[in-house]
Amino acid sequence: MAIVYDEAEKVFLLNTQNTTYAIAITDETFLCHLYYGKKIQDSHIRYLLKEDESPYVPSVNKRETNSFLDMFPMEYPETGMGDYRESAFCVRNVEGHRASQCGYRHHVIKNGKPEISGLPATFASDEECSTLYLYCEDEVLQLQLCLMYSVFEKEDIITRSVTAENYGKQPLYIEKILSACLDVEDRNFEWVSLHGTWARERHIQAMPIAVGRQNVASFKGESSHQEHPFIALATKGATQDVGEIYAMHFVYSGNFLAQIEKNAFHMLRMTMGIHPEGFTWKLEPGGCFATPEVVMTYSAEGYGKMTHNLHELYRRHLIRSAYLHKDRPILINNWEATYFEFDEKKLLDIAKQAARLGIEMFVLDDGWFGKRNKDDSSLGDWNVNLEKIPGGLHKLSQELKALGLKFGIWMEPEMISPDSELYRKHPDWAIQIPGRDITQSRAQYVLDLSRQEIVDYVYEQIAKILHSAEISYLKWDMNRQLTTIGSMGLVADRQGELFHRYVLGVYQLQERLIREFPDLLLENCSGGGARFDPGMLYYSPQIWCSDDTDAIERLAIQEGTAMLYPLSCIGAHVSVCPNHAVGRVTPLETRGHVAMAGTFGYELDVTKLSEEEKEEIHKQIVCYHRYKELIREGDYIRLLSMQKGDRADAWMVVDKLKNRALVWCVRGLNIPNDKGFFLRLKGLDVESKYHIDEKQYSADVLMNCGIRIKPADKDFVSNIFYLERQTK
Ligand code: GLA
């Protein structure tokens, strides 16, 4: 049984294959966290609460409530009653008071996984998951909280979310409602997060934990380039295979807070949820608010197991697209090839050459609409620019079809240029504060998607374009953060809802889109990878990883991304050299190898290739077809990491039956006087032998002695090895 309630002990055990999460109810009706870690069978663990340690227990000595709360591991701590660590919940009533204490009232255990209305969330059948609902109440406020825990046994995952319901007669104002809190005694942990900026997303960072609060966060209205809605506690020096990891990942695409707090008693509190800054939600009588979901996992076997758990969860229980298990067409995108300077002829020249090389889809990026010849106009005016494409999109799609190519298109539906017909007609549609200049970013404003009429209008524009031609793919971009946070459609005491309502508007748009166009391949994007998060994966099976397409820069970016997300989600293209972002020259072969660890494609002017380059691209395409299923479906294993000090980056994918594997090894450029090394593999069947090229090796040899990586010279930067198990 995944969820067990021991009535006598008043203890819940939430069991997955390898882990247990335990919650207890105290005499005071507090819900408290007892344990999270390796699986335990016995629910006699109340001693962990130290209830005999008077005077710290309120039922024994009520006058010492404060000191009790300093230490007590509240399952969902609230503001204003004496727990001075980070709270998960803060509500203000009409009198202006901010304090609540919701006591346990009853619980329900059900098979299956509830949806969260309007929000992306993991899903599962009744056999795959069960859910615990803990109902708590504050009678003074007439407020009910429901803490939900869904247990995915097979994946070693627990997801958490919370609902707040006002059953009183006065409105309540929620000022903070996080999705999860976890108190853990410090066992010499460090904390891990992902950070970066434009063109340098999701580098891994591990830091010592200081007393006090340390967090990553976004206030930008999207999950952001800079910090990622992920946080982990890890045994200091944990490796891919060794060490304990507690991880939280947020299924949300807006502002977030992910925090570790250490107090004077070596207690760690890990919290995650919508960032309270700039957030207030008015809860009318009878109203209910649901938080987005936090995905939580524990690994006793290092980062590798954490990665595996998340990959399995996302592939089985989050990504809905029909493309999840389908081949994605190898695409060519014209952005780095032409930027805004193209006409139909130029596009078709690229397309013809692409088709000859074996590329399967042509994606028309920015600049095809309005009078957009650079990035300073026309967002919102989704009419094809007939000067550039005289025959319109339909004719273009047919010409591409005749070449054997599918057609994809770029849009940035959430935006409005000050220089656009749409803005001239509806200046109030931009997010703005009356009397203030709206901050421009990339010369554009953001549409106020908290307003239903704007969401409806935007949806019609997207649908109109998609109906106007044979379009198989949409790259949905979002190229700026939110500022000057005000809505012309919200009353004063609801302005604090704008950030969250905006995200709900985005989700509504994408939900409608995938329902009306179920065969559309949707790729999300945000100035590269600023909205690469589990929330967006619920709508699109792949997300553009970064505007930095340099193969060497991509190593750290893709490593951090693949630590959490399957390779099949990671948008990766081969581009021209010197690279547009960093000016580096990398062998075309290596650019191909790195892009193959994602949704493979091209983004360069293929009409300018030498014969040798054409041959190499042709080779890459043949190679990708051979391995694409393995890359998409296989288990990903990280072998070496240059950002963690290793001499190369290396990773592999192994199919579930351990019959086939693909290994990548990429070195830094220009290594002087190199002598090569041996790369030890993982995840193979120890009893078996594997072929690499014509040679045969025992799995134990490959995993303990390693495969030979030859010395780097100027032509050699990377290798991929294909392994096939020898059949008896
Ligand atoms: C963003 C995207 C790019 C490209 C441009 C177009 O930066 O990340 O891939 O689509 O917009 O303006």
Question: For residue range 214-232, what is the model confidence (pLDDT) as tens digits?
Answer: 999 999 999 999 999 999 9
Task: Decide whether any atom of ligand 1 lies within 6 Å of the 477 Cβ.
Answer: yes
Q: Is 555 helix (H, G, I), strand (E, B) or coil?
A: helix
Give 38's contacts (C-beta < 8 A, 6+ positions apart): 18, 19, 20, 298, 300
**What percent of the chain shows pLDDT beyond 70?**
99
Taking only the tens place, the pLDDT of each residue in 232-256 is 999 999 999 999 999 999 999 999 9
- Residue 347's identity, in one-letter code, is L
- The reported pLDDT for the residue numbered 77 is 97
CB distance 250 to ligand 1 below 6 Å: no
pTM equals: 0.98
φ and ψ at 63, to 5 degrees? -70, -10
The phi, psi pair for 170, rounded to 5°, reads -115, 150
Tokens 């300077």, residue? 341
Does any ligand 1 atom lie closer than 6 A to the CB of residue 366? yes
**Share of residues in the chain with pLDDT > 90 (%):** 94
Say yes or no: CB of residue 547 within 6 Å of ligand 1: yes
Question: For residue 477, how far is its CA from the centre of ligand 1 (angstroms)?
Answer: 7
Please give the full DSSP string across 559-628, using - where no structure is assigned: HHHHTTS-GGGEEEEEE-SS-TTT-----HHHHHHHHTTSEEEEES-GGG--HHHHHHHHHHHHHHHHHH
Report the Cα–Cα distance between both ends of the chain, in Å, rounded. Answer: 39
From 334, 414, 475, 525, mutation site for ligand 1 pocket: most ligand atoms within 8 A of C-beta: 525
Question: Distance from the CA of 204 to the center of ligand 1, in angstroms?
Answer: 24
Mutate to test the pocket of ligand 1, among 365, 575, 604 (most ligand atoms within 8 A of CB): 365
Residue 64 pLDDT level (bands cut at 50, 70, 90)? confident
Tokens of 121: 């969330």
State phi, psi for 649 to the nearest 5 degrees. -105, 130
- Check if the beta carbon of residue 676 is closer than 8 Å to that of residue 648: no
pLDDT digits (tens, 9 = 90+) for 587-628: 999 999 999 999 999 999 999 999 999 999 999 999 999 999
- What mean pLDDT is reported for the chain? 96
CA-proximal residue: ligand 1, atom 12 (nearest): 366
| Segment holding 185, helix H or strand E | strand 172-185
Ligand 1 contact via 527 beta carbon (within 6 Å): yes
> Which residue owns the Cα nearest ligand 1 atom 2?
527
**What is the maximum alpha-carbon separation in the chain?**
84
Chain-centroid distance, C-alpha 225: 12
Distance (angstroms) between ligand 1 centre and the Cα of 47 equals: 56
pLDDT of residue 68: 83
Q: Which atom of ligand 1 is nearest to the CA of 603?
A: 9
What would the pLDDT profile of 504-550 be if each residue is shown by its tens digit?
999 999 999 999 999 999 999 999 999 999 999 999 999 999 999 99
Closest Cα to atom 11, ligand 1: which residue? Answer: 527
Per-residue pLDDT reduced to its tens digit, 20-31: 999 999 999 999
Q: Output the CA 581–ligand 1 centroid distance in Å.
A: 13
376-419 pLDDT, tens digit each: 999 999 999 999 999 999 999 999 999 999 999 999 999 999 99
365 lines ligand 1 (CB under 6 A): yes
Is 104 in contact with 76 (CB distance < 8 Å)?
no
Which runs of consecutive H residues, i.e. helices, occur in 262-326? 302-317
Q: Which residues contact 388 (CB under 8 A, 6 or more apart)?
A: 342, 343, 344, 367, 368
Q: Whose alpha carbon is nearest atom 1 of ligand 1? A: 527
Mind listing the pLDDT tens digit for each residue in 262-289?
999 999 999 999 999 999 999 999 999 9
331-413+452-477+523-633: CATH topology: TIM Barrel (3.20.20)
CA of 528 to the centre of ligand 1 (A): 7
Sorting pLDDT into bands at 50, 70 and 90, what band is 62? confident
Catalytic residue among 547, 548, 550, 649: 547
C-alpha of residue 652 to centroid of ligand 1, in Å:
30
Q: Which atom of ligand 1 is nearest to the CA of 528?
A: 8
Q: Angle at the Cα of 79 (from 78 to 82), degrees rounded to 5?
A: 100
Q: Which of the listed residues 198, 334, 477 should we mutate to test ligand 1's pocket, taking the one with most ligand atoms within 8 A of CB?
A: 477
pLDDT attached to residue 292: 99
Three-state DSSP class for residue 684: coil
User: Is the C-beta atom of 544 inside 6 A of ligand 1?
Assistant: yes
Instruction: Measure Cα distances from 580 to 336, 337, 339, 604 in Å.
Output: 8, 10, 11, 10
CATH code for the structural domain at 3-317: 2.70.98.60
Q: What is the pLDDT of residues 637-675, one digit of tens each?
A: 999 999 999 999 999 999 999 999 999 999 977 788 888
CA distance 274 to 13: 27
Q: Residue 365 Cα, ligand 1 centroid: separation in angstroms?
A: 8
Q: Is 365 a catalytic residue?
A: no
Report, as an integer, the average pLDDT of 432-443: 97
| Sequential DSSP letters for 426-473 | -GGGB---TTSPPPPBTTBEEB-TTSHHHHHHHHHHHHHHHHHTT--E
Is residue 369 lining ligand 1, measured as CB closer than 6 Å? no
Atom of ligand 1 nearest to the CA of 375: 12
Chain centroid to CA 352: how far?
35
Q: What token pair was written down for 107? A: 């619980």
**Residue 562 near residue 650, CB atoms below 8 Å:** no
Ligand 1 atom having least distance to the Cα of 365: 10
Question: Closest Cα to residue 143, out of 200, 93, 73, 68?
Answer: 93
Q: Tell me whether residue 649 is one of the annotated catalytic residues.
A: no
Indicate whether 684 pLDDT > 70: yes
Distance 366 CA to ligand 1 centre (A): 7
Q: 702 alpha carbon to ligand 1 midpoint, in Å?
A: 42
> In sequence order, what are the beta bridge partners of 521?
473
Looking at residue 55, its pLDDT comes to 66
Does the beta carbon of 528 sit less than 6 angstroms from any atom of ligand 1?
yes
The Cα-based distances of 115 to 124, 532, 537, 681 in angstroms read: 10, 22, 16, 40
Sketch the domain layout of the chain as residue ranges: 3-317, 331-413+452-477+523-633, 639-725
Q: Say what the pLDDT of residue 715 is.
A: 66
| Tokens 């026309």, residue located | 378
Tell whether ligand 1 has an atom less than 6 A from the beta carbon of residue 419. no
Pair 361, 329: CB distance under 8 Å = yes
C-alpha of residue 222 to centroid of ligand 1, in Å? 16
pLDDT of 56 over the 80 cut? no
The pLDDT assigned to 578 comes to 97
Mean pLDDT to the nearest integer, 449-478: 98
The reply to whether domains 3-317 and 331-413+452-477+523-633 share a CATH topology is no
- 525 touches ligand 1 (CB under 6 Å): yes
Relative to the CA of 475, which ligand 1 atom is closest? 10
368 lines ligand 1 (CB under 6 A): no
Residue nearest atom 7 of ligand 1, based on CA coordinates: 527
Question: 639-725: which CATH topology?
Answer: Immunoglobulin-like (2.60.40)
Q: Which ligand 1 atom sits nearest the alpha carbon of residue 547? A: 8
DSSP sequence for 12-80: EEEE-SSEEEEEEE-TT--EEEEEEEE-------GGGG-TTSTTSSTTT-GGGHHHHHHH--BSS-BSS
Choosing from 183, 477, 635, 649, the catalytic residue is 477
Cβ within 8 Å of residue 369, ≥6 positions away: 378, 381, 382, 383, 384, 385
Note whether 624 and 591 are within 8 A (CB): no
Q: Is the CB of 335 under 6 A from ligand 1?
A: yes
Number of the ligand 1 atom closest to the C-alpha atom of 525 = 8
Q: Say if ligand 1 is within 6 A of residue 77 CB.
A: no
Q: Mean pLDDT throughout 332-357?
A: 98
Residues near 91 by Cβ (< 8 Å), separated by ≥ 6? 79, 98, 100, 141, 143, 164, 172, 173, 174, 175, 283
Q: How far is the CA of 529 from the centre of ligand 1 (A)?
A: 10
Alpha-carbon span 511 to 505, nearest angstrom: 10
